[in-house]
Amino acid sequence: MDRRQFLAVGGLTAASPVLARSASDGAGTTADPGLFREVNFIHDGLGLSPREYATLLHDATTQRDLPGDNYSNGGVIEELEQAFARKLGKQAAMFVPTGTLANHIALRKLAGQDRRVLVQAESHFYADSGDAGEVLSNLNLIPLVEGRSTVALGDVQRWVELSASGRVPMRVGVLSIESPVRRRDHEMVDFAQLQHVCGYAREQGIRLHLDGARLFNLPYHSGHGVQEYAALFDTVLVSVWKHFNGASGAILAGDASFIEGLYHTRRMFGGSLPQAWPTAAVAMQFVDSYEADYARAWQATDRVLALLRTDRRFKVRKVPMGTSRFFLSVTDADAAAVRERARQQGVLLPRPNPETGEFAMQVNPSVLRTTPETIAQGLLAAAKA
Ligand SMILES: Cc1ncc(COP(=O)(O)O)c(C=O)c1O
C-alpha cells in the first residue's frame, strides 16, 4: 500500500456524517426523504441547502446542550479552534468569519517591521482581495510566478537579494503560499520545492504563511499529511465553509503567542461576529471525517469515470498536479441540455465552458450519497438526446 492510499484508508474508520445522513434518510427515519440526496460536481463541499443546514443544526443542538459563543470567543467556536489546532499540529487557532480576513490578519501581524510580502500572483490574497494588504495594512505585496503555482527557491532568493541590495536595504518580511491554488484549477504546489523554499525563508528570518483553504485535499494527492504541510509554516489558514460545510469562516492556526490577543485585530476589522456558533456547530460534524470522505469520493469518482469511458462520447481530462478538479466533456451533445437532464437525475453539473463545452468538475463527498453506478447511469442517460 503506498503512502497516499495509506493516508486515505487510515481514516476510513471515522464515522461519516455524509453517509450516516444518506443512509438514515434512505431508511425513512427522518421526516423529509428529499434531503441529503443530490450529488454535486460544483462545490468544494456538500452544497447544503438551507433546510439541510437547519437539519444538521437541529442535530447539533439536540444531541447535547451546545455551548454558544460570545463575539466569536468561547463555546463551540473554541471547540472548533481546538479541534483544528490539534489536526494541524499547531498550539492554537482562531476562528475568523472569512478566509479573506484570515489571510489579511495573518500577513499584517507576521510582517512586523518588514512590510515586503512575497505572494503568488495567482493567489487569492493577491488576485482576489483587491489591494487590501496595501490599503488597509501598509503591506507591499510582490507577486511571484504569474501563470504558475509552485514557487521555486530562485524566485524567493531573487527578491531577498534585490531587497537587501537596494539603495535603501529592505528585508522581506513574509512569504505566503497558497496550495492548492484555486485560480489554477486547484493545482497543488510541489512538496519538495515547498520544503526547499520554506527552509531557505526560515534561514533568512522570513515568516511563513500557508493559505490552505483546501489543505485537507492535499494528502490524498501528494502523500504528505496536513501536519507535514503545517509544520513548514508559522501560520495556516483552513476554510471552514469549503470542505467542512459551515455557513462561512476560516481557521487561522499558529503558535499560542501568535494567536493570543489576535481577536482584538479581528474585532478591529469588524470580524468578531456576535454569535458565530451556527457555523461551528455544523462544521464540527465534518472535522474528523472529511479527509477519509474525500479519499473515498475520489475512489468513487474514478469508478464513475471508468464507467463513462465505455461510452466514447465522454472525454475526461485530468489536471497535472491536480487535486479536486477534472474536466468532462460530451461530444455531439448540447452541454447545457446534458446539464439539465443530469440535474433531473439528481446529479448537479457546473455550467459548461461557453467556448469548449467542458464541465470543470469538482470532486467532493456528495458523491458518496449514492453508488458510482447510479451516478454513471444518470450521466449516460443525460448524454442521450
Ligand atoms: C485559496 C483561497 N483563499 C482564501 C479564500 C477566501 O475565503 P472566503 O471566501 O472565506 O473569504 C478563498 C475563497 O474562495 C480561496 O479560494
Lookup: cell for 106: 495573518
Ligand 1 atom at shortest distance from the alpha carbon of 100: 11
Could you report the per-residue pLDDT of 176-227, keeping only the tens digit for each? 999 999 999 999 999 999 999 999 999 999 999 999 999 999 999 999 999 9
The residue ranges of every structural domain in the chain are 3-61+289-383, 68-286
What is the Cα–Cα distance from 9 to 33, expressed in whole angstroms?
Answer: 30
Q: Whose CA is nearest to atom 16 of ligand 1?
A: 182
Question: Against a cut of 0.85, is the pTM above it?
Answer: yes
Residue 51 alpha carbon to ligand 1 centre in Å: 24
What is the Cα–Cα distance from 129 to 134, expressed in whole angstroms?
Answer: 10
Residue 125 alpha carbon to ligand 1 centre in Å: 8
Look at strands 140-144 and 116-120 and give their pairing. parallel
Of residues 71 and 4, more confidence is placed in 71
Q: In testing the pocket of ligand 1, which one of 44, 182, 241, 245 has its CB within 8 Å of the most ligand atoms?
A: 182
Could you report the per-residue pLDDT of 242-280, keeping only the tens digit for each? 999 999 999 999 999 999 999 999 999 999 999 999 999
DSSP letter (8 states) at residue 139: -
Q: With pLDDT > 90 as the criterion, what percentage of the chain qualifies?
A: 90
Rounded to a whole number of angstroms, the distance between the first and last alpha carbons of the chain is: 43
Could you report the per-residue pLDDT of 164-175, keeping only the tens digit for each? 999 999 999 999
**Coil, strand or helix at 277:** helix
DSSP letter (8 states) at residue 269: T
Q: In testing the pocket of ligand 1, which one of 176, 239, 242 has its CB within 8 Å of the most ligand atoms?
A: 239
Note the Cα 281 to chain centre separation in Å: 19
Region class of 249: left (phi > 0), else alpha (psi between -120 and 50), else beta: left
Ligand 1 binding pocket includes 185 (Cβ within 6 Å):
no
Ligand 1 binding pocket includes 157 (Cβ within 6 Å):
no
Could you report the per-residue pLDDT of 229-244, keeping only the tens digit for each? 999 999 999 999 999 9
Ligand 1 binding pocket includes 182 (Cβ within 6 Å):
yes
What is the model's pLDDT at position 34? 87
Instruction: Note the CATH number of domain 68-286.
Output: 3.40.640.10
* Backbone CA torsion sign across 179, 52, 278, 8: negative
Ligand 1 binding pocket includes 213 (Cβ within 6 Å):
yes
Ligand 1 atom at shortest distance from the alpha carbon of 97: 10
Q: Whose CA is nearest to atom 5 of ligand 1?
A: 99
CATH of 3-61+289-383, one of 3.40.190.10, 3.40.50.970, 3.90.1150.10, 3.60.20.10: 3.90.1150.10
